[in-house]
Structure 1
Amino acid sequence: MQPTRIAICPSTRPAACQQRDIVLTELTVMEDGDWALGCGHEELRLRELEEARTRALQLEKTMRWWSDCTASWREKWAKVRAERNRAREEASSLRERLEGATAELAEARRERRGMSADNARILREAGGPRAETERRGEEGEGDGKDVDDEDDEEGERQEEEENHGDDDDDDDDREGGDAEGEPADAAMTGVNRAGKEVERMSSPEQEPVRDTQPGKRSVALPSNKDTTLVEEPWEKRRDAGNYRRGAGPAGRLQEAAVASAVEEELARATVLRLRLDESLKTLLKEREDKSELTKTIEKLEAEVLQWSLKNEELNKSKQEALKQLALLREAHEAEMGRMTEDLEDQVSAHSSMDKKLSDMRAELERLQAENAAEWGKRERLDTEKLALERDNKKLRLQLDDLEEQLSKRRKQTASASDADLRSVQAQLYEKNKELCDLRHAYGKQRKAQADVAAELAHAQRRAEQSEAEVKKLRQRVDELKREAARAEDELDETQNQVRRLQRSLDEQVETSENLQVQLEHLQTRLRRQQTDSLFGKKRSGGRYEPSEGGAAGSEEDDGNSS
């Protein structure tokens, strides 16, 4: 019976170890399969992440392209805007030049009107003496006939003949008239000629005409009837001269007065002629300036028209560019909206993928930790298995040795005593007992190790709790520090307020002291004035006594001191 028990004990032990190895191999195979599945999912997620990154790069490139397009459009619009502003500035400068030219033209017109008014005034001044001489001649002739249109034509014809041949007319005047009547007629013709030239220059329609021949002047009579000067026929003048010549002493006196008046009129006519020449020169110069101004105005108007056309073209191009920009902006906004939606979808997908990836990483870390723990257990079991196998081998060797010794003893001594067999069986029993004790100690050791691991986990949890409490305490300390800083700031503010109040109080005390000093000075001055007034009254009354005054002054001083 006992040998069979010895045979069963070594045979049952390796079977349990083999079953444990099978279980461990199954666990490792399951863990490897889960790890392979996790790796496949991770590769898929990494591929999706790479695709999302490529799409994000494409979106960044398109956004960069759109930003470059918008920058180029901004540059173009800046150039167009600068050209438009330049055109506006040039148009404004041309408008200012046009306004200045119009103002100068208006000033020239006003000056021309003033000169025409001066010419009319000169004409009126020149027409007054001539009317007076005609009136005197008519009184000397005693003939008060009116001059009609035929006389005007005859006077013009005689004037032309006079212009063509002044010498012949002068000879005829010497033969038929007096020496004193001759300068009077010449003065009359000069005055008439000057009046006609002045009227011709004063009229805005007619232009002054230069002398084409020496001794001949073409004169155009103005159409205004109020300023028309009509010469008398030459024959009537000669008759008037003959009548004056035979008029006697009264006629001679009258002729002398007329001659003096004629000389004065001649002097005035020369002055008027000079003034007329100056006015003609100024008018010609003004006409030239006017022509130049009209040319410049036409040129400026052409330039303004050209710039207005350019401005219209720029406005049209601006409108077209604005339309294109609006279309591009709408397309850009639509594209940006689509891209933002895609990007948001990608970001949400990426965030969900990141979340899943983080969950998977946490799960993987947990599985890795469990796998590491299982591997640790497996290694420990392997070491235990190896130790048990060594013990089993040792026991088998010992058993083989014992069996050999037993067989030898059986062979040597067939009649071996039962005491030796029992001693061997007792040794074997002791060995088995030691093996059971070792197994029991191994179980206790594993239990103690599990207890130590539990205590370690509990200590870790307590350490985490203590760290959280330390963080809370640090936060509380920081809050207390901030509160202390705020309290210190409030204390500093209160101290500053107290100092300010103390300074204001000191200033008020100083002002009160100054006012007190001023009040004392005023009181002393008032006392002095009162004493001076009292002394003055006593001196004026003649009752001044030094002893009484001193006594009064001492009494007043005593009163003031009191």
Structure 2
Amino acid sequence: MNHTPSPHMTEAAKSGAGLLCGLGLGPDRVRSPDSLTHTPSPSGGTPSSSPPLLLSPGLGCDGGGDWESREELRLRELEEARARAAQMEKTMRWWSDCTANWREKWSKVRAERNRARDEVRQLRQRLDALTKELTGARRERQELAAENEQLRLEAQRVRAEQNSPANASTAPASNSSTASTHSNQPREPDIKQDNQDEENVRDGPGSIEQEPVRDVDTDKPDKQKELELLEALLRAKSEAPDSWDIRSASSLRSVLSRQDRSRLLWEDLAALEEDSSKLNALQLRLDESQKVLLKEREDKHALIKNIEKLEVELSQWKLKYEELNKSKQEALKQVRKLILITGARREGKIQENRQRSETERTGKARQNKETQRLGTGNRLNNTQRRMVTQQRQMARNSFTLDKVCLPSLILIPKICVMHLFQLDEAHNQTRKLQRSLDEQVEQTENLQVQLEHLQTRLRRQQNPGVFGKMRTSASSRFVPEDADAPPSDPDEDEEEELQLQIP
């Protein structure tokens, strides 16, 4: 690949050559950058990045000056830089050409691949159309054979009626019936030949067995043909001389009816092809939506099981909470009873002690009065001793009461506090379970909404009449920017939407 050097590079090279000539360097001893740029690159590979040949040292007019040697070195460096720049420019151009060539090749290969795909698609469509035409032709042959057999039977019946005792009066009719039988006889070998051709096609190496296509609107032309044939036969009986005209008219009608039948069959086949393609697309969408629905049903069943487990646990915790409430109420009742019993006992003991102390005081007062009356010191001493002993006994009794009743009264509030702590823990657990149950219920509601959306989408896919029109009208508003790009697949778009909607 030869490239023209840039003009600024050539001008710089000319100026450098002029300086070298002025310094005494000849053009035969110095290589110009043009010659370096026009050096042939190695064929089939990248251009060599080796540095250019350097100038031989010791050049100049005087040969010993420092200034000349420095200028010579500068000029050499300048020439080397120019040569390297030219070589780099050459390599860059070479690489750009290589990339352009590769892009062209790949674009050609892609175009050929797309053409091959289009050809394969067209050939498949043609094969499908030919197979459908073959099945339609087979069906037509079978129907024509059945019609011919019916006509032959009717002709035989008419002939038998004409051969009845009234031969003299029905002579022209017999002639017409014989003519009709003669006209029907050459059809039989044609039917046999068609059957043989059909067998050959079936037995051939390239034969394709196609599934039977359902008949659409084939009974109406058969009935019309039968009516036309019966009218022709009756006219032949009534009008013997015009039998040939009637035969020609019936043959024309049969040809027209065949053409109508073929046209109807082609229309039915086209409608069936469209219906089959639509049914395949709808079946694929149905399968995908059914898979999504099955997954969502499994998730829903798992969530329902989790909810049932949580409900069972919640019911158990509720039972435990009720039992704890009952035990708490019973404990409170027992505490109240114990408090009342201990208070009553204490009050009874206090009243007894008061009564005893009062009786003792009254007795002591009486004794004191007696002693005062008697005036004896011994009795006073005895009574004082007795009073001291009685006071000691009273103090002992009060101490024993405090020792017995106070610990039980101190333990009762502690037991109540323990029961209260247990009740608080049960309350917290029930609240946590209630929160988890609420979250599960929200998840089930979200899944139910998604299920409803999917069901509506399935209904739209099963009834694509109105929604298809809406989609075509919406798509006709927007024109794609890249006309050569392949159309986007609606199934992939729906899969992306489903993946975005499903959490």
Q: How would you bin the TM-score normalised by the shorter chain?
A: 0.3 to 0.5
Query: Which structure's residues are more often helix, by fraction?
Result: 1
Larger Rg: 1
| TM-score for both structures, normalised by structure 1 | 0.31
Q: Higher RCO, 1 or 2 (CA under 8 Å, sep at least 6)?
A: 1
